Chains A and B, each alone.
Chain A
Amino acid sequence: MVRINAILFLLILAATACSKEKSNRNKVAGVWEIEKLEQDFYSGNQVDSSKTEENAGKFILINEGSSDFNGFYYDFSKETNKYAFLPLMQAQSLGTMKDECNWNMDDVSDERLTLFVGTITSNWYTHISFSRIQKAQGLKVREKWQYLELNTDGSLRIKEVYTLKRIKS
């Protein structure tokens, strides 16, 4: 029995030698419903105005097994301003596929998710990053992703928090 347990422990060690990036990618791949989008607009480091939108649409993160290129689609229920996506929308002309961009996760941290639009040949990407400020784990089924946009002097201009529920992994 001791021998079997010891060998099992070593096999677990071997399994964990696998890619961290792959594990991180699996944590966020799937279809996410945007239950709530909260936007804070700042002026002089103070919240100037706020806006909340319920059922704002869906994010679809396709896991294509790539450390860099995985398909990403968004489906917004209303054509209101999602500031995180403005740079991506403006950059779509660089790409060849409408309404599509790519995503990847860091290979070490599961906190940062990057969405980007561009072409492989151009080697030039427009990207935004979300930080997962609340992760789905245990009894928590929802995640919160945060996007920050700054003024040129480094002060905060916009904060967006997406409350998401994964409806398909």
Chain B
Amino acid sequence: MIAIRKVILAVLFAIVSTVALAQFNVGLGLSGGIMPLRHKSFNRFAESWNSFYNGILDKPLKPFGLAYTQEVILSFRFSNALDLSAGFVGQRAKTDCDYTNGDQREFKFSNHLFVFEMGMGPGDPEVGWITFLLGFSFGNTVIDSWYIQSDGIKSIGQERYWNGSFSSFTVGCYPGIKASVGIRNVKLQLRADYMLPWFGGTQYRDRNFARLFSNTYSAEVLPTDVPTYYNDQLNYVNVADRNAGYVNNKFSGFRIQAGLVFELGTD
């Protein structure tokens, strides 16, 4: 984690140095969009969950559907061709299952990623740009799980086995294209990219220190084999020796966004 922060700071230092020395156009982009989230290991968890809790589910747990995304990004365009950008992307999606007693369990996928993009393409400051880009993203991705009773009381603590905030540090990349067109200082921007895991496979884990060493039963990870994991915990099998696979941070998706770019000027 510390090493990644150093990488982020080094990238920012490089951009700041370039910005301090070169001629550039600068634009602030705000956009939002959708991404059909492909999360295979979570889908396996959902299948296993539905099978395990079959008798008490009124509505089964479905895979995450559409993720909603927002982005704030600052772009520097050098010599009307090279584009360097840095900013934040937020993504969130939700799914749930209903129990026969009227209670509900919800799972929320969310992340706030620091992104750095490099791109090239033709353009004119007065009209707009087309940029082919390669972006890199770093940050925590979290799957929160909570329980809502039929009377509205929300339970997020370890009083319930599957409650938790399961997180994993995610590094990804995304090839894509963005195009902006407009008049003077405000431009409409459309962008499409494909988010891919760069280093994937790290499991989501509830890192609450006290819980990990407590005598209270609650899930530390989200398993892809729910019955095996659950029974192993009841039988005091160490996490390392359990046979269940885990939900990991390999997710991907084709993302489409639209927004505005405010040209802040030339320097």
Q: A residues near B, CB below 8 A?
A: 1-3, 5-7, 9-11, 13-14, 16-17, 20, 45, 67-68, 102, 104, 106-109, 111-112, 114, 116, 118, 123-131, 133, 147-150, 154, 156, 159
Contacts and interface: CB of A to CB of B under 8 A. Distances in A.
Contacts of A14: 8-9, 12
Interface in B227-248: none
Nearest to A159: B153
A107 B167 contact: yes
A16 B87 CA distance: 11
A38 B143 CA distance: 31
Given A10-B74, A107-B207, A129-B157, A2 B26 contact: yes
Contact of A124 (B142, B209, B213): B213
Nearest to A103: B210
A116 B88 contact: no
Contacts of B124: none
B261 to A, nearest CB: 14
Contacts of A123: 213
B6 to A, nearest CB: 9
Interface in B142-171: 142, 144, 149, 151, 153-160, 165, 167
B214 A127 contact: yes
Which range contains the number of B residues in contact with the other chain?
A: 35 or more
Contacts, number: 118
Interface of B: 5, 8-9, 12, 15-16, 19-20, 26, 28, 74, 76, 86-88, 114, 140, 142, 144, 149, 151, 153-160, 165, 167, 207-211, 213-216, 264-267
14 contacts: A6-B267, A7-B16, A9-B28, A10-B16, A10-B19, A20-B140, A106-B208, A107-B207, A111-B156, A112-B157, A114-B210, A124-B215, A127-B211, A129-B208
A148 B157 contact: yes
A106 B210 CA distance: 10
The 3 closest A-B pairs by CB, nearest first: A129-B157, A116-B210, A127-B210
Contacts of B209: 67-68, 104
Contacts of B167: 107-108
Contacts of A127: 158, 210-211, 214, 216
Given A108-B167, A125-B213, A148-B157, A3 B19 contact: yes
B12 A13 contact: yes
B159 A149 contact: yes
B86 A13 contact: yes
Given A111-B156, A112-B165, A154-B160, A125 B210 contact: yes
A118 to B, nearest CB: 7
Given A116-B214, A126-B214, A156-B149, A3 B267 contact: yes
